[in-house]
Structure 1
Amino acid sequence: MTTDTPEILKRKKALSVSPLKASAPMGAALAFLGINRSMPMLHGSQGCTAFAKVFFVRHFREPIPLQTSAMDQVSTVMSADPNVIEGLLAICNKQKPDMIGVPTTGLSETQGVDINRLVKDFRTEHPEFNHIAVVPVNTPDFTGCLESGYALAVKAMIEWLVPEDTSRVGRRPRQLNILAGSLLTPGDIEHLKELCEAFRLDPVVLPDLGDSLDGHLTDEDFTPFTLGGTPVSAFQSLGDAAATLVVGRSLNPAADLLRTRTGVPDYRFDSLMGLAENDRLIGLLTKISGRPVPAKFERQRAQLQDALVDCHFMTGLSRIAVAADPDLLYALSTLVASLGGEVVAAVAPARGPVLDAVPAGQVQIGDLEDLEHLASTAHAELLIGNSHAVESAQRLGVPMLRAGFPQYDLIGGYQKTWIGYRGTRQIVFDLANLLLQRTEHEIRPYVSIHASAQRRAAAARAAASHAHH
């Protein structure tokens, strides 16, 4: 494990080979999908939205509500401003959602759209829909990644929907706001809410993918917008909370804005994986709630400690390659380092504020081809990445742990819990089991020099086979 700041290597290629990146508009759409009765409308071509929809459906295995302003050749050259107004009007008339999120795309950004002005124009022309929240956000897909677009959308929701009032802090002393970063799965968010509720706190999660995209069946045959998630009305009460929990350094700008607007103190976590991080979380929940730690969490902590003891022979000195968005890359790399492993290859699709803290010698801004090259050169024993990295792991001949977005070849990957004592324990087991696949612990039989030539030849073949594996 290195304690020095890693060297951040910029991309040098003119193109991506086996892209790692998921685009910023997709990240923004994902954040809007965590709001109840919400409809994301991407301002771009139909292909942009269709591409994102396919990714979301394959990952979550759920119907995903996405709309588009449907820019075509004529509107791209002349002006696509009417597309936004007409699109918002059609959604308000037909679907009647509680909120519409409007992320831009590379096409509309290249055209030079002023998405904030267009939303204001819509308000002026159609005041009858002022009760429907509309949140625009600039997310060109030629810069950033899913994480950055997600973070920009969270900040935009705070900017457009949270009132400026610092006089209400603590009016709801049991309320705990949670800004949930893109590194958290629906399973993580669900577990985080259960942690808070065990301390008799009332968590308000923004955005709450653990309620909208957790894979639950409903009584309705079809819904044109999200079902479950953070209610739009909850934005009005964020200033009443006792504190705000922020998970993921990419959300720091959104957290800064929320604290400025409401005056609610916040506590920030770059990761919730590992023993030390969860000790700090439990200590914070104890402080905010004034309640002792429930016995079940003390037991879960002891179980994690036992797992660390059981697995350190496998995870210690292991050589692991990781590819993920910055926040998730940091969380996974820090966990690997805490287990005695070494991150020998670290690749992120874009810059992020947390990359300077990743426990690795270098962090490459690049794609899965870069990961494959670095992992091969450094003799990595295991690879961690999304489903796009499966082929790289196969070519390298190493096992793989799927993490991040998208996961389209693993049922339930979106719902896996990575955080807390319980989630960390399971990840430790998963890593150890995968590393065991590459290790042979049998004691090779001793063959005397006086044995027959036939026995010596058989022993030599067995030794050669052992060395090859």
Structure 2
Amino acid sequence: MADIIKRNKALSVSPLKASSSLGASLAFLGIRDAIAMLHGAQGCTAYGKIYLIGHFREPVALQTTAMDQVSTIMGADENVVEGLKTICNKFNPALIGIPTTGLSETQGSDVNGAVATFRKSHPECFKTAVVPVETPDYVGSLETGFAKAVYEMINRLVPESETKGGIASNRQVNILVNASLTPADIDEIKDMVEAFGLLPIVIPDLSISLDGHLNELDFNPLTTGGTCIGDFEILYKARATIVIGSSMTPAADLLKERTGVPDYRFDHLMGLNAVDSFLSMLHELTGQPVSRRLERQRQQLQDAMLDTHFNLGMGRAAIAADPDLLKAFGDLLAGMGCDLVAAISPSNTAILRHVVAREVKIGDLQELEKYAQAGEADLIIGNSHCAASAERLGLPLLRAGFPQYDRIGAPARCWIGYRGSRQTLFDLANLLIASEQGAVEPYRSIYAQVQDLEEGHHGPDKPHAHAGGWQH
């Protein structure tokens, strides 16, 4: 088990984490016809929206309660009520998510009370679901905020099932996904599940809402795709629930309590062992054989492991990422014989103790540089914030996680499954080849040096070369 080294300084230098309110907003973007309204100042929403748009290169449905100096001191509950009323009358969304921010949490806003007031004073908006979630910026990270939002959606939208245990003959399966999975990753999960004749309901489904598709409408203030809000009411019918990521444990526990549907939990789906376990579960669940296509992909991954182990074996990597993603990359690299010399996480969770590393530091990018240099790392894995650190260290950077604002196509990148793991190994090996890390210095004989000295010696009567030509 890895040792957890907690923060020991009063401030962050080159912060690594994205806020939990941003993570909650991301989760709401995976629900169809939804919109998130952050309870805080305008800057809280604008700052997060910049990163979401820069990462996904898509319009992002975000609103704000626009707390100012007066409402911050006197109370901002009325801002919540007025904001909900305006959004319902103007856009008629299926769901409004209300992540709190550091400002509203410090002020002591009673969001649940404000929602109750809104329900009483505006019964005409009963069709719109409202899901508040406490996500102050100073607690947790993007991953924890995402998980809290999924928990609250299940808490408010999934009814208590009268007959618990699911329907074994049903083809439906529920899939809870964590914040580290890209839209392409979710597509890959659905493809693998559908290969066994199952029908997945993903919560939340970013693969439909933020996959980079063009919309028929010139502008839509709501999300254009995602999990239908009505799907929450039929989760109890599923044959099973699949949970991806340790951060989703509280949401998975609640869903199992409400529906009684048995679940299968996985830390991640990166690397040969993880994907093998996932497909074995699907085989046991359905009795269907693994398709030839997936068997072929497995063989391709095995060949990629052979091809890249010359570069990755005995390598030294430094990773800065949220806990679930850190665990996934740690296992993938450990399977290739690569040593994780620096593991940096923005928040502390139970899964960090199971990361394949001697220690995990809860910190920022200053610690990343410190530990990477001390461990003589060969490469860095992290988001776009790590680019400056990698440049100062003179190391190659594999961009992974959120945000990636200096590259295009991050949402379309698949990291999981046999295909995604294979491509990840190729990318890691190519970075090391391009940087020539670990290359053997050319051997130069001592006798060659003596010969050079002799050839460079010129007697008084011998001509010698200089910048202006030959002279005597």
2:10 matched residue in structure 1: 14
> How high is the sequence identity, in percent, across the aligned residues?
54
2:127 equivalent to 1:124? no
Distance in 2 (CA, whole Å) between partners of 1:43 and 1:439 is 48
Relative to structure 2, which stretch is displaced further, 384-393 or 170-179? Answer: 170-179
Q: Does 1:354 align with 2:363?
A: no
Aligned match of 1:308:
305
Distance 1:456 1:394, change over 3 A: farther
Q: Deviations over 1:380-417 (max 9, x none)?
A: 11000000000100000110100000001111012210
| Contact 1:166 1:261 (8 Å CA) reproduced | no
Greater radius of gyration (CA): 2
- Matched residues in 2 for 1:406 and 1:293: separation? 35
Structure 1 unaligned regions, length at least 5 = 459-469
Displacement of 1:112: 1.1
Write the distance in 1 (CA, Å) between the matches of 2:421 and 2:253.
29
Partner of 1:49: 45
- Report the 3-state secondary structure (helix = DSSP H, G, I; strand = E; otherwise coil) of the residue aligned with 2:234: helix
Aligned residue for 1:272, secondary structure, equals coil
| Counterpart Cα distance in 1 of 2:6 and 2:90 | 46
**TM-aligned CA deviation for residue 236 of structure 1:** 0.4
Among candidates 426, 451, 470, match of residue 453 of structure 1: 451
Q: Superposed, which structure 2 residues align to 1:225-374 within 5 Å?
A: 225-374=222-371
Is the Cα–Cα contact under 8 Å of residues 5 and 362 in structure 2 kept in the other structure? yes
Q: Find the counterpart in structure 2 of residue 67 from structure 1.
A: 63
Secondary structure at 1:449 match in 2: helix
Corresponding residue number in structure 1 for 2:111: 115
What is the CA distance between 1:14 and its match in structure 2? 1.1
- Following TM superposition, the consecutive aligned residue runs of length 4 or more in structure 1 with deviations greater than 6 angstroms are 455-458
Check whether the contact 1:271–1:331 (CA below 8 A) recurs between aligned residues: yes
Partner of 1:184: 181
The one of 368, 386, 389 aligned to 2:386:
389
Output the amino acid matched with 2:255.
L
Deviation at 1:111, TM superposition (A): 1.1
The equivalences for 1:423-438 within 5 A come to 423-436=420-433, 437-438=435-436
**2:133 counterpart letter in structure 1:** V
Kindly provide the CA deviation profile for residues 277-336 of structure 1, in whole angstroms up to 9, marking residues without a partner as x.
Answer: 000111111122221111000010011011111111111110100000111111111111
TM-score (norm 2): 0.93
- Count matched residues: 454
Matches of 2:185 and 2:368 in 1, distance apart?
A: 26
Q: Quote how far apart the aligned CAs of 1:449 are.
A: 3.0
Deviation at 1:265, TM superposition (A): 0.4
SS in structure 2 of the partner of residue 267 of structure 1 = strand
Which one of the candidate residues 151, 154, 157 is aligned to 1:158? 154
Name stretches of at least 5 consecutive residues in structure 2 with no aligned partner.
457-472
Paired letter, 2:130: V
Q: Distance in 2 between matches of 1:273 and 1:130?
A: 42
Verify the 8 A CA contact 1:166 1:239 in the aligned structure 2.
no
Specify whether residues 328 and 447 from structure 1 end up closer, same or farther in structure 2 by C-alpha distance, changes over 3 A only. Answer: same
What's 2:470 paired with? none
Aligned twin of 1:80: 76
Q: 1:452, CA displacement in angstroms?
A: 6.0
Q: Secondary structure at the match of 1:150?
A: helix
User: C-alpha displacement at 1:242, in angstroms?
Assistant: 0.3
Please give the alpha-carbon distance, in whole angstroms, between the structure 2 residues aligned to 1:331 and 1:393: 21
Aligned runs of 1:27-42 on 2, under 5 Å?
A: 27-42=23-38
CA RMSD of aligned residues (A): 1.7
- With over 3 angstroms needed to count, the CA separation of the structure-2 counterparts of 1:450 and 1:44, relative to structure 1, is closer
Map residues 137-176 of structure 1 onto 2, 5 A cutoff. Answer: 137-167=133-163, 169-170=166-167, 173-176=170-173
Rounded Cα–Cα distance in structure 2 between residues aligned with 1:308 and 1:255: 33
Q: State the 1:172 CA deviation.
A: 6.3
Contact 2:378/2:437 (CA < 8 Å) preserved in 1? no
Q: The residue matched to 1:354 in structure 2 has which SS? A: helix
